[in-house]
Amino acid sequence: MQLCRQVATFVVTNPSVYKPQANHLFCCLENLLPGQSHAIENKKFRRNSMYTYDLLEPDCYYIIQEKENDRRLTLLQVKVVGDSCMYVVKYGDDIITEWKRKTDTIHDIIELLDDSAVKKWTDVYFNSEDAYNYEEDEE
């Protein structure tokens, strides 16, 4: 754990060399060490920089803020990764699927959900969707 913190601190404090890796590493470190991200000294770097879709890993669930002035958060999952584009699924009231360029920007990657959070979310999201459809069928 100590080595992980040291590497993350070094990468985040040297953004000119490691910017893409720093963003992703910081997000992963927050997920692996919940409540201990204070060990990284330069949090302003993460908040003031733009991310790109290229940082997102396939089959992982992320909560993101796509645009700076839009306070809405989006849950998305990367399904397919090509050479220059990615096929993503966005979950909300409706499920939206779309292709994004790897260079398209994301204002902030709020969180990479761990497996237990994904399981809880899928149970709630898909069970409430089934309950809604069941009520429609009765009418």
Asked whether the predicted pLDDT for residue 137 surpasses 50, the reply is yes
Q: What is the mean pLDDT of residues 69-89?
A: 94
Which residue's structure tokens are 């969707």?
Answer: 129
What average pLDDT does the structure give for the chain?
74
For 28, list phi and psi in degrees, rounded to 5: -65, -40
Asked whether the predicted pLDDT for residue 15 surpasses 70, the reply is no
pLDDT tens, position by position, 30-72: 555 544 444 443 344 444 567 999 999 999 999 999 998 888 9
Asked whether the predicted pLDDT for residue 21 surpasses 80, the reply is no
Q: Provide the pLDDT for residue 8.
A: 53
Q: What band does 29 get if pLDDT is binned at 50, 70 and 90?
A: low
CA distances from 37 to 49, 84, 111, 136 (A): 18, 32, 12, 46
Which residue's structure tokens are 């919940």?
Answer: 34
99 SS3 class = strand
Structural element, H or E, at residue 78: strand 74-81
